[in-house]
Structure 1
Amino acid sequence: MRNLSLRHTNQVLLLLVLSVAVLYFGRVFLIPLAFAAVLAMLLAPVARRLERWHLGRVGAALICLLLLLAFVGGCIFIVGAQAANISEQLPQIQQKLQQLLAQAQQWIQQQFGVAPEQQIRFVQEQVGKLAQSANRFLTMSLKGIGGLLSGFILVLLYLFFLIWGRDKLRKFFLQLGPNERRAEVGQMLDEITKVAGQYISGRLLSMLFLAVFYLIGFSIVGLKNALLLSLIAVLPTLIPYVGAFIGAFFPLTMALVSGSSGQVLPVVGVLVAAQVIDNNIIEPLVMGSRLNLSPIFTIIAIVAGELLWGIPGMILFEPLLAVIRIVCSHVPALHAYAFLLEDEVQEPRWVERIKQLVKQK
């Protein structure tokens, strides 16, 4: 019994090590494919609706791609149009930044006794060190942009073929299971498609709420370029947990540099209020327990995703872990792992009541 237990443990550890190696060394291939798979699950209902309108499988897939391109292009256009307004305010921002730097120099001199000349000399030395690696940074940035564009093209190609051939893929997975369990395999595939698609749609609805709330709040506060700052603050929230802190940095910086000192606290209030409402009301309603993942394993998935795939991993590993949980729940030998990954936090009763009212309507 001890040998069997040790053998089983070694097999699990070997599988884990091999999986990590494949995920890390195959990330260039796997990241676009994973994005395309999640988007295909999101757009599957749209494709089915278009096919019922007699557009054909190819036409439905092409329209889904056009909808995705229109959404991405619209976001880029809005950000670009709003960013042009900031260029007109650069002289004012520069003047305010100089005032803040002067105040910071005075504070450092009072607290630490470092003269402004020494502070400037220190800054110049650091700038000189940064300038030595400027060419390398520029080269890496250009490579990163090229990789991003090529990755996006791959996502579009994968997405087209996944939507076009989704029935064949479904039949393939059904044939992998024994005949007596094909119904359960089909149920598992339906759950995976539903969970992944609804997670992305719920995340987008949450981002839409935050964008509108930020826009209204920043406009009331009087923060300039409220629309651009709202979009910049919302986009990082695709990353669970840490995205909200990343997105809040730029509005706070702009409130400090381009606005008045009295705008900082109101902007903080808007950011905090939006997150409180989103975390406690919006997300439970539009997302609820769709992923059904334990909070600790959600955090582990985000950390592991960043280590293996970077920012794309922080976005993708949470729904991918939910897919693993669903697979484990349908394999008798893996039920214990599904139980371990399941969310132990019960959904609030008021959320259940609101969902029941919505279903009745």
Structure 2
Amino acid sequence: MKATKNGERYSESINDTVKPLSGMTKVFILLIPLLIIAAFIAFFTDIFIALVMCLLFALVLSPFVDFIQGFGFGRSISILLVYIIIGTSIYFAFNMIAPAFVEQSESLTKSYKEFRVSEKLKDSEKWIEKNVPYLKKGDVGKEIESSVRSSLTKAEDIISGVVSTVLFIIIIPFITFFILRDRQKIKNGLISIVPNRYFEMTINIIDKIEKQLSTYVRAWLLDAFILGLLSFIGLSIMGVNNAIIIGMVAGAGHLIPYAGPVVGGVPAILISIIQYGDFHMVLPIIVLFTVIYIIDSAFIQPYLFSKGAEMNPIVIIALILIGNQILGAFGALIAIPVATILKVSAKETINGFRNYKLGYY
């Protein structure tokens, strides 16, 4: 049957001539968000870091706020109640572990004062020179001395970093509050500027980003807690002092994927050397953190991240290194969430152009 109206003929013509997206078009679609984000990072680095951290916290807290709001409370009151619950939980948790934390800190300080650093360095240097003959005598001592002096010269940078971190800790809850409160308004505002023909695709992108990212962030925090707990249990069984402190450090370090075992293992080794005065615990500690890493990578992470952002471990490590190179520790911390946003956006945009033929009139 032939079409009789110009509009129908036009529609038939378009449907007959629609072609799949070319490779260059797909690359262009992928590059647009990358270029926009790269430009924003270059000019507004601190703002970008703060916004990403706030968005991540908002994703974690949003379900709890929604749950409390379901009892009839207003949005703002629900957010404040969640903040109060979190603050109270941190307060009681701190009071529970603070005595042990202080005791172990004092023990570590005392052990360090009693530990004859210069003698142990000389013993270590003799052992290395004996077993690694190609090193010249005195090289090890000079390298250690140089490292210590270099660390001292960086004290000012460390203090500056601590101040910046404290400011972030103060500012982030305020920004997160407004993101949580106006979440739907922000979402509606973004959608309102999108042309009608892209409406369905945009809704789909936002929903999938929110779902995958929130799942990933919650799993990420739980994984860090589990790794810290396993580190604490393992070191306690081995009799290493300051197991609570090391466990907390390992858990916090694991917020940067794959960094936890290293961040926890290094201080554990140093503390064991101070505690026992020799190196006999170094290998057992390395084995412990290797086993924890294997358990985490083989069992815990696949289970926790099964519905989150699925990426190849090599890709994850590469993203972390790139993030660290661009923004330091914060870059390594937010590399995976940002990559998840870009991945979902690009994938759903390409699917939208293919399925809804949005690239054609």
Q: TM-score range by the shorter chain?
A: 0.7 to 0.9
Is 1:206 the counterpart of 2:206? The answer is no
Question: Comparing both structures, which one devotes a greater share of its residues to helix?
Answer: 1
Gaps (5+ residues) in structure 2?
A: 1-21, 355-361
Q: Separation in 2 of the partners of 1:315 and 1:124?
A: 30
Q: How many residues align?
A: 327
Match of 1:104 in 2: 124
Gaps (5+ residues) in structure 1?
A: 337-361
Aligned-residue CA RMSD (Å): 3.5
Instruction: Give the structure-2-normalised TM-score.
Output: 0.77
1:61-109 Cα shifts (integer Å, max 9, x gaps): 2233334545666777647851542323434334444352231243366
Shift of 1:11: 10
Shift of 1:27: 0.9
Q: Partner amino acid for 1:246?
A: V
Question: Does the CA contact (< 8 Å) of 2:108 and 2:242 recur in 1?
Answer: no
1:87 pairs with 79, 102, 106, which one? 106
Shift of 1:237: 0.8
1:163-205 Cα shifts (integer Å, max 9, x gaps): 0000101212222334465444333222211211111111122
Shift of 1:325: 1.4
Deviates more, 1:71-80 or 1:239-248: 71-80
Q: Separation in 2 of the partners of 1:154 and 1:233?
A: 26
1:255-297 Cα shifts (integer Å, max 9, x gaps): 2221364322222222111111111111111112511334444
1:247 pairs with 258, 264, 267, which one? 264
SS of equivalent to 2:254: helix
Q: Separation in 2 of the partners of 1:234 and 1:148?
A: 18
Q: Partner amino acid for 1:100?
A: K
Q: Structure 1 165/15 Cα, relative in aligned 2: closer, same or farther at 3 Å?
A: closer
Q: Partner amino acid for 1:276?
A: I
Question: Does the CA contact (< 8 Å) of 1:328 and 1:334 recur in 2?
Answer: no
Q: Structure 1 193/70 Cα, relative in aligned 2: closer, same or farther at 3 Å?
A: farther
Pairs within 5 Å for 1:128-207: 130=150, 134=153, 137-179=154-196, 182-207=199-224
Match of 1:26 in 2: 44
Larger Rg: 2
Shift of 1:243: 4.0
SS of equivalent to 2:281: helix
Q: Separation in 1 of the partners of 2:225 and 2:84?
A: 21
Shift of 1:322: 0.8
Question: Does the CA contact (< 8 Å) of 1:42 and 1:196 recur in 2?
Answer: no
SS of equivalent to 1:330: helix
Shift of 1:51: 0.5
1:286-326 Cα shifts (integer Å, max 9, x gaps): 11251133444433322221122211111112111111111
Q: Structure 1 155/89 Cα, relative in aligned 2: closer, same or farther at 3 Å?
A: closer
Q: Partner amino acid for 2:127?
A: W
Identity percentage of aligned residues: 19
Q: Partner amino acid for 1:92?
A: S
Shift of 1:330: 2.1
Q: Separation in 2 of the partners of 1:97 and 1:106?
A: 16
